[in-house]
């Protein structure tokens, strides 16, 4: 069983998606437990995979026992296994908290919703674990199609936002396919390990250069890197709450994983850094993303839309780490994949709980919420501190590595942008915290007895995931050193 764990991670949600579709007709209430079972089993398999990778090194799993490059192969190294565990854990927490929102908003579509939910998770896991370029395209399309459908069933502006996302996402996937095609024409192979052996002889070729350009643009479209991020705020604002808490932490991080895989493993780091200045371009795009994401987030009055712009900013952090391309920068980027998934998960879960209880999301409408939902807002404060970057929350450690990496590479302006963005994040989140926690001064005569508001906390199936996410933020902050030394240190490619 342990030997088959790489493929079980992907195949279990796939089979269960089909089973939900069959059994849901019989009893609707059974969809939620089946979903949780599927994702928990997948999470266990991913933990087993990570354990195997840590103890014995890279796993090569051949599908159908055909040796690569004639068959498809799953190559699981430290980077892969790490992102697999993150994706399955975040999906599990998002799935646990989805029950009440689905009952309230999407009741008659429960069967189909959970089926597409599991297919979305399958898509993400399949993208992360594979070692074959065309297989990645197939699973990228599974994830994308599920994403378009999940976003389109949201509130009022959702179908148009989903259509916009569809156009941009299809352009991104088609550019990726064009890149695979150009590489295939000139090398004849589709396997990532094989390509990394053949390509160094062809670095002077124009075909390879154009293929690299198309890969980067396509993945940037999927990852919502500035200035190709225009689909993201609308799509994640109008999506239903369980959907945005699944998609927002994960889609962008999986895109960042694809970028790291292509830039540093398929093409050697020498190509991406010195032969063409791809990393320099990425650093400036990332700087723009961090700055403009924070500035636009300041201008919003809707809490969820503000979080979507903060997500644009966070994608900028990860891309800055990739662009710096030294040891500290990449450590910061990979650590930030973990940290940002949990931060965004916690923030979007909190907004989902607030939407469920009060039905509105304006920042000015958050009066007295700290009395109604104390635990939820406590987790919000913890997540806000993490986005700002205050120890011992996890956000501080990844920012620290990123700043160290920027100083190592003599990029002073991006280091300054990182510090400036912390300041902007303080302003952004303090606006929300002020509206939520500090009450207006209504005079002292009998004010306190009038403003007694009962605790009307989020339901338990939403509260427990929120608390787990908040605890995770603190826990991963404390354990950052151990995570870096055990996993991330081996996940970074060696720079010649």
Partner 1 sequence: MRILALFTVIITGIILAYGTQDMPDWGDPKSPASIHVSPRYIEKTIEETATPNVVTSLLADYRGYDTLGETTVIFTAGISCILILRIRKRRREQK
Partner 2 sequence: MIDLIISKYNYWIYIVLMMIGFYAMIGKKNLVKKIIGINIFQTAIILFFVSTASKRGGTLPIIEHAHGHGAHAIEAASYINPLPHVLMLTAIVVMVSTLGVALAIMILIYRRYNTLEENEILEQRKWSSNPPF
Give contact residues for partner 2 (rule: CB under 8 A): 134, 138, 141, 145, 148-149, 152, 156-157, 159-160, 162-163, 166-167, 170-171, 174, 177-178, 181, 184-185, 190, 230, 233-234, 296, 300-302, 305
Q: Which does 181 bind (CB under 5 to 8 A by kind): partner 2, partner 1, none?
A: partner 2
Which pair of tokens denotes residue 132?
Answer: 């074959």
Find the shortest distance in angstroms from Cβ 475 to partner 2. 36
112 interface partner picked from partner 2, partner 1, none, CB below 5 to 8 A per type: partner 1
- Do 239 and 150 meet the contact criterion of CB atoms below 8 Å apart? yes
As given in the structure block, the two tokens for residue 274 are 């010195």
**Between residues 23 and 375, which has the closer beta carbon with respect to partner 1?**
23
Handedness of CA 447, 448, 454, 456 (dihedral sign): positive
Identify what 430 binds: partner 1, partner 2, none; CB under 5 to 8 Å per kind.
none
Does residue 222 contact residue 251 with C-beta atoms inside 8 Å? Answer: yes
Residue 88 or 135: the one with the smaller Cβ distance to partner 1 is 135
By C-alpha distance, which of 135, 138, 165, 141 is closest to 152? 165
Tell me the DSSP string of 71-87: S-EEEE-HHHHHHHHHH
Answer for the pair 328, 401: CB distance below 8 angstroms, yes or no: yes
Which entry of partner 1, partner 2, none binds 245, CB below 5 to 8 A by partner kind? none
Q: Which of 8, 45, 90, 116 binds partner 1 (CB under 8 A)?
A: 116
- Cα four-point dihedral sign 111, 117, 121, 122: positive
CB atoms within 10 A of CB 444: 7
178 lies in the site for partner 1, by CB under 8 A: yes
Regarding 168 and contact with partner 1 (CB under 8 A), the answer is: no
Residue 148 or 356: the one with the smaller Cβ distance to partner 2 is 148
Q: How many CB atoms lie within 10 A of CB 120?
A: 26
401's CB contacts (< 8 A; 6+ apart) are 321, 328, 329, 331, 332, 335
d(CA 63, CA 16): 20
Minimum gap (Å) between residue 488 Cβ and partner 1: 29
Q: How far is the CB of 320 from partner 1 (least distance, A)?
A: 26
Shortest spacing between CB 123 and partner 2, in angstroms: 12
Q: Return the number of the residue (116 or 382) whose C-beta is nearest partner 1.
A: 116
- For residues 161 and 457, give the distance between their C-alpha atoms in angstroms, rounded to a whole number: 31
9 binds partner 1 (CB under 8 A): no
- Please give the residues from 63 up to 102 whose contact with partner 1 meets the rule CB under 8 A: 63-64, 66, 69-72
Nearer to partner 1, 163 or 437 (CB): 163
Give the range of 80-88, 132-140, 275-283, 378-386 binding partner 1 by CB under 8 A: 132-140
Interface residue with partner 1 among 153, 297, 388, 483 (CB under 8 A) is 153
Q: How far is the CB of 349 from partner 1 (least distance, A)?
A: 22
Provide the minimum distance between the beta carbon of 465 and partner 2 in the complex, in angstroms, as a whole number. Answer: 28
**Contact flag: residue 177 with partner 1 (CB under 8 A):** no
Q: Which of 403, 377, 379, 407 is nearest to 389 (CA)?
A: 403
Cβ–Cβ under 8 Å, residues 239 and 165:
no
Buried b / exposed e across 343-366, counting CB within 10 Å, b at 16+?
Answer: bbbbbbbbbbbbbbbeeebebeeb
* Site stretch for partner 1 (CB under 8 A), options 134-142, 272-280, 353-361, 436-444: 134-142
Residue 216: name its binding partner from partner 1, partner 2, none (Cβ under 5 to 8 Å by kind). none
Write the CA distances from 209 to 9, 173, 395, integer angstroms. Answer: 34, 18, 36
Minimum distance of partner 1 from residue 9's CB (angstroms): 14
Query: Minimum Å distance from CB 185 to partner 2?
Result: 5
Q: Which two tokens stand for residue 154?
A: 């949201």
Q: Which one among 152, 216, 228, 385 touches partner 1, defined by CB under 8 A? A: 152
- For partner 1, the closer CB: 62 or 431: 62
Q: How far apart are CA 88 and CA 476, in angstroms?
A: 16
Half-sphere exposure of residue 49, counting CA atoms within 13 Å on the CB side? 34
**Contact characters 22-61, partner 1, x per CB under 8 A:** ----------------------------------------
Considering the complex, state which of residue 125 and residue 404 has its C-beta at the smaller distance from partner 1.
125
* Number of other residues whose CB lies within 10 A of the CB of residue 230: 15
Shortest distance (Å) from residue 147 CB to partner 1: 10
Phi, psi of 372, deg, nearest 5: -75, -40
Is residue 73 within 8 A of residue 131, CB to CB? The reply is yes
- The two structure tokens encoding residue 133: 């370029």
Neighbours of 442 (CB within 10 A): 11
Tell me whether residue 210 or residue 407 sits nearer to partner 2 (CB atom). Answer: 210
Cα–Cα distance, 313 to 311 (Å, whole number): 5
Residues that bind partner 1 (CB under 8 A): 14, 17-18, 21, 63-64, 66, 69-72, 108-109, 112-113, 115-116, 119, 122, 126, 134-135, 138-139, 141-142, 145-146, 148-150, 152-153, 178, 182, 184-190, 198, 205-207, 209-211, 213
């Amino acid at each position: 069983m342990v030997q088959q764990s790489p493929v079980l991670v992907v195949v279990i949600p796939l089979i269960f998606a089909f089973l939900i579709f069959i059994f849901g007709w019989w009893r609707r209430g059974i969809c939620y437990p089946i979903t949780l079972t599927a994702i928990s089993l997948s999470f266990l398999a991913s933990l087993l995979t990570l354990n195997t990778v840590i103890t014995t090194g890279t796993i090569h799993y051949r599908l159908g026992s055909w040796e690569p490059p004639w068959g498809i192969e799953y190559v699981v190294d430290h980077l892969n296994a790490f992102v697999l565990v993150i994706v399955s854990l975040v999906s599990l927490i998002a799935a646990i908290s989805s029950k009440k929102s689905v009952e309230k908003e999407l009741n008659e579509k429960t069967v189909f919703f959970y089926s597409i939910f599991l297919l979305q998770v399958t898509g993400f896991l399949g993208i992360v674990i594979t070692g074959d370029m065309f297989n990645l395209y197939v699973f990228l399309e599974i994830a994308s199609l599920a994403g378009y459908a999940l976003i389109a069933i949201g509130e009022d502006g959702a179908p148009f936002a989903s259509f916009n996302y569809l156009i941009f996402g299809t352009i991104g996937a088609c550019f990726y396919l064009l890149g695979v095609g150009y590489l295939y024409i000139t090398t004849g192979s589709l396997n990532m390990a094989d390509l990394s052996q053949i390509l160094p002889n062809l670095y002077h070729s124009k075909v390879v250069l154009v293929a690299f350009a198309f890969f980067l643009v396509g993945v940037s479209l999927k990852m919502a890197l500035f200035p190709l991020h225009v689909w993201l705020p609308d799509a994640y604002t109008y999506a239903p709450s369980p959907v945005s808490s699944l998609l927002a932490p994960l889609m962008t991080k999986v895109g960042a994983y694809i970028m790291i895989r292509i830039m540093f493993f398929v093409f050697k780091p020498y190509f991406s850094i010195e032969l063409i200045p791809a990393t320099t371009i990425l650093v400036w795009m990332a700087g723009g993303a961090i700055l403009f994401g924070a500035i636009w987030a300041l201008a919003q009055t809707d809490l969820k839309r503000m979080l979507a712009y903060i997500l644009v900013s966070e994608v900028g952090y990860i891309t800055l780490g990739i662009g710096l391309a030294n040891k500290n920068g990449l450590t910061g980027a990979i650590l930030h994949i973990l940290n940002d998934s949990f931060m965004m998960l916690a923030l979007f879960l909190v907004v989902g709980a607030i939407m469920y209880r009060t039905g509105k999301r304006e920042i000015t409408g958050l009066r007295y919420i700290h009395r109604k939902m104390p635990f939820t807002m406590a987790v919000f404060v913890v997540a806000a501190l993490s986005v700002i970057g205050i120890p011992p929350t996890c956000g501080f450690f990844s920012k620290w590595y990123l700043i160290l990496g920027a100083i190592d590479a003599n990029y002073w302006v991006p280091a300054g942008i990182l510090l400036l963005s912390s300041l902007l994040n303080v302003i952004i989140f303090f606006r929300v915290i002020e509206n939520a926690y500090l009450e207006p001064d209504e005079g002292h005569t009998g004010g306190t007895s009038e403003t007694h508001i009962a605790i009307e906390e989020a339901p338990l199936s939403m509260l427990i995931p929120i608390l787990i996410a908040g605890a995770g933020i603190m826990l991963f902050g404390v354990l950052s050193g151990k995570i870096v030394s055990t996993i991330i240190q081996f996940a970074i490619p060696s720079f010649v």
